Amino acid sequence: MATATVQHDDVESRRDGEHGPDGDHERRPLLAKRSVGAGEDDGSGMSPVQRAISQTYQSTAHLAKLLPTGTVLAFQLLSPIVTNQGHCLQANRAMAGGLIALCALSCFVLSFTDSFRDGAGAVRYGFATLRGLWVIDGGAPLDPQAATSYRIRFLDLVHAVVSVMVFAAVALFDQNVVSCFYPVPSEDTRQVLTVLPIAIGVVGSMLFVSFPTTRHGIGFPLSPR
């Protein structure tokens, strides 16, 4: 009986020592958190390389929104074909250069187009001129007084040049184009091809935001007017 009493007192003293004010112990997690090393997954399902590729595609998509839709789609569709998916011969380089030049010219020219709604509510397109708007879809010309608000302005030229710059950035983001013209780039060339499109995209986006245009030309959202 005395032995049982002593054992009971020992158990109580151990409990008091563990839970008393001087004997509190922190509960440690079973698995300590470990830092994510280079090249490892951070829990989002993507490695740093995959995240970089994803950001590149997101940047390309963002820049493409600033350009005529048809031009961008044509380039993205034809680029793998004319470059043979990056495995270029001399003829492929010539075709790729021609495709880039035509798409850049399209971006430049379409920056001077605009649209309006006629009396029936149909959307009509035309080219901005020094006198007004030249309607190109075969319909009746716009009223001369109303056409004066569509005259070509210096801002249109700025947007045309910036559109060409932004398209160049989109083209440099295309791995087929880069592999075609620079199959084995040097370290300096690789750095330029990485930084230059981003720099052009940032500057172009800032200019588009700082100097917005009210035109709704071919390949852009329809005019609400």
- Identity at 86, one-letter amino acid code: G
- Contacts (Cβ under 8 Å, ≥6 apart) of 140: 118
What's the total number of domains in the chain?
1
Q: Is residue 193 part of a domain?
A: yes
pLDDT band at residue 141 using 50, 70 and 90 as cut-offs = confident
Q: Is residue 220 part of a domain?
A: no
Q: Is residue 188 part of a domain?
A: yes
Domain that holds residue 166: 54-111+158-211
- Average pLDDT, integer, range 145-166: 87
Asked if 177 and 76 count as a contact pair (C-beta separation under 8 A), the reply is: no
Which DSSP symbol is given to 221?
P
Of residues 217, 214, 213, the one with CA closest to residue 137: 217
pLDDT band at residue 55 using 50, 70 and 90 as cut-offs = low
Indicate if the pLDDT at residue 192 is higher than 60: yes
Q: Is residue 13 part of a domain?
A: no
Helix 69-82, helix 90-110: angle, nearest 10: 180
- Contacts (Cβ under 8 Å, ≥6 apart) of 78: 99
